[in-house]
Amino acid sequence: MLTPHATSEYGALRHVAMRYASDLTPHLDGPDVHPVLTRQKTTSSWQPYDPATVRTQQDTLIDLLRGRGTTVTLLDAAPGCPVQHYPRDTAFVIDHVLVMARLNSTHRLPEAAALAPLLTGAPHVAHLDEGTIEGGDVALHTGTVLVGLGEETSPAGVAALQRALTHHGVDREVRPVRFATRGIVHLDDHFAIVAPGTALIHRDVFPPAELSWFEQHFDLIDVTEAEARAVQANVLAIAPDTVIVAAGSDRIAGQLAARGLEVLTVDYSEVTRIPGSLRCTTLPLTRA
């Protein structure tokens, strides 16, 4: 029986769910492209990718995680879903509760439905009653849940999450994080907690009030505009002192290493041709 548990973004990763990319790829251009995608293309790079290469790069990450003692559960395919390899958006664990996301894109609903076999017997599963919220916008901080209000997550979804956590006995404040621009895909493309008191941040997309809050709570490592577009802020912490970054993130890796963190690198260049990377392709179920 699955017993979800995660109190931070960096506790030792014991169990994670992943899903391979399908052969179906997203439709990126043309007059029928959704307005949300049109706005997101102003802040992120969207390019066609080769699904087989994405799966090969996922295998490299899976081997790395298993070599570090993490159990990797491969989820069943979600038919008709071109970004099914980003399961982080479909659910997230906060303390002892597995929260099912309320996805903004209806074509992604089969991804969430395909999680059902994994949830059988889980003692605390929360289903939100209104709004939208996706896991890429959710980050755990001490006593707090940070939730980005980008294109995929709404204030109503934030309020629904607060109610659900209270109902399940989780004593955390759900704090919305606002952006200074439209077109943000998810918070984790621009902000990532990588270790106790340490976070990556792409300052350009946050208003002064949010920057002030971040500065009060974290040692911040700046991410440039070019690095954000290359999805280099979307890293995966697998222990309080260990972070996986995408190959090519040399400056960020140097900043992490300078703070005493072990930095592991995988080639995720095909995965990041659309705005998702290591964090997006992993759904932590249990952290120490």
What's the predicted TM-score (pTM) here? 0.94
- CA angle in degrees (0–180, nearest 5) for 37-38-43: 85
Cα(137)–Cα(120) distance, rounded to whole angstroms?
Answer: 25
pLDDT band at 36 (very low <50, low <70, confident <90, very high): low
The closest of 102, 93, 97 to 124, measured between CA atoms, is: 97
Percent of the chain whose pLDDT exceeds 90: 80
The confidence band for 2, taking pLDDT boundaries of 50, 70 and 90, is confident
Choose among 227, 239, 177: nearest CA to 202: 227
Q: Which tens digit of pLDDT belongs to each residue from 224-273?
A: 999 999 999 999 999 999 999 999 999 999 999 999 999 999 999 999 98
- Stretch 86-96: mean pLDDT: 97
How far apart are the C-alpha atoms of 185 and 199, rounded to whole Å? 19
Cβ–Cβ < 8 Å for 62, 84: no
- Distance, CA of 208 to CA of 60 (rounded, Å): 39
CA distances (Å), 20 to each of 40, 84, 263, in order? 24, 7, 24
Residue-wise pLDDT tens digits, 6-26: 999 999 999 999 999 999 776
